[in-house]
Amino acid sequence: MLGIDGCLETVMEIPGARRATLVDGASGLAVAAAGQDGPVDEHEDAARTTDVVRAVLATPALATAPRGDDIDEIIVCGARGYHLLALVPDAFEGRLFLHLLIDRAEGNLALARLNVRRAIGALAGRDGA
């Protein structure tokens, strides 16, 4: 099982990773953060991305498919980078998610998605994730 600091260290090793914030989706507060400072601090970032996650999860057409195929990540594409919002599997009370900012020129979104899945799976005690 990977701890919070280990998870953030692992995620920040992903090529193109600029900033990572682990967020408590129930409260909208940043649990931990790593990487470069952005235009907003980690707490404002956590609150705003929590709004995005809540909005997506509250939208019936997006939240759950008939087969129970629940959302486990949200990707927002910007001109200079990608925002990957990855929900941590249900090993914790509440809803934790990771917000990773990836530089578009230096990163690889597909590789980042795979590595983030592994890191948060290990955080949640699913080392084979």
The chain-wide mean pLDDT, for the chain, equals 86
- The pLDDT of residue 129 is above 60: no
Mean pLDDT over 9-14 rounds to: 95
- The pLDDT of residue 93 is above 60: no
Q: DSSP of 60-88, one letter per residue? A: HHHH--TT-----EEEEE-SSEEEEEEEP
Mean pLDDT over 17-43 rounds to: 89
What is the per-residue pLDDT for 64?
59
| Class of domain 4-123 (CATH, top level) | alpha beta
- The pLDDT of residue 11 is above 80: yes
Spell out where the chain has E strands.
17-24, 29-35, 73-77, 81-87, 96-103
